């Protein structure tokens, strides 16, 4: 039951992100440095740092590894390059 409640909290946290914060979150989760993200999105590095800080705050994570873990925990299970796996109980 605790896991189910955590999922609902994650949904609320993800829905609180702005579209730009979601863009930045995707780049951060892929391991890209702020300088590269800034160049790809056409904004300053400082702007990316601010977006990244807000993403971490809203999702209650401390670093990019925790962010990636949180994202993976909310995604359907997929093999590399494949369709979602069906998990049977």
In eight-state DSSP terms, residue 80 is T
As a whole number of angstroms, the distance between CA 8 and CA 15 comes to 11
Q: Which residue has the tokens 């873990």?
A: 69
CATH topology of domain 2-74: Arc Repressor Mutant, subunit A (1.10.10)
Helix (H) or strand (E) run with residue 27 in it:
helix 19-29
In contact, 26 and 18? CB cutoff 8 Å:
no
45 pLDDT band, cuts 50/70/90, is very high
Question: Would you state the pLDDT for residue 82?
Answer: 58
Per residue in 7-40, pLDDT (tens digit) is: 558 788 989 999 999 999 999 999 999 999 999 9
Mean pLDDT calculated for residue range 54-75: 92
As a whole number of angstroms, the distance between CA 38 and CA 81 comes to 28
Please tell me the pTM assigned to this model: 0.74
Q: What are the structural domain ranges in the chain?
A: 2-74
């Amino acid at each position: 039951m605790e896991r189910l409640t955590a999922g609902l909290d994650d949904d609320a946290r993800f829905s609180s992100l702005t579209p730009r914060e979601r863009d930045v979150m995707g780049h951060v989760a892929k391991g890209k440095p702020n300088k590269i993200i800034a160049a790809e999105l056409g904004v300053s590095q400082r702007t990316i740092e601010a977006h990244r800080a807000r993403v971490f705050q809203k999702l209650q994570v401390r670093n990019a590894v925790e962010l990636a873990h949180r994202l993976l925990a909310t995604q359907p299970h997929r093999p590399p390059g494949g369709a979602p796996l069906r998990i049977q109980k």
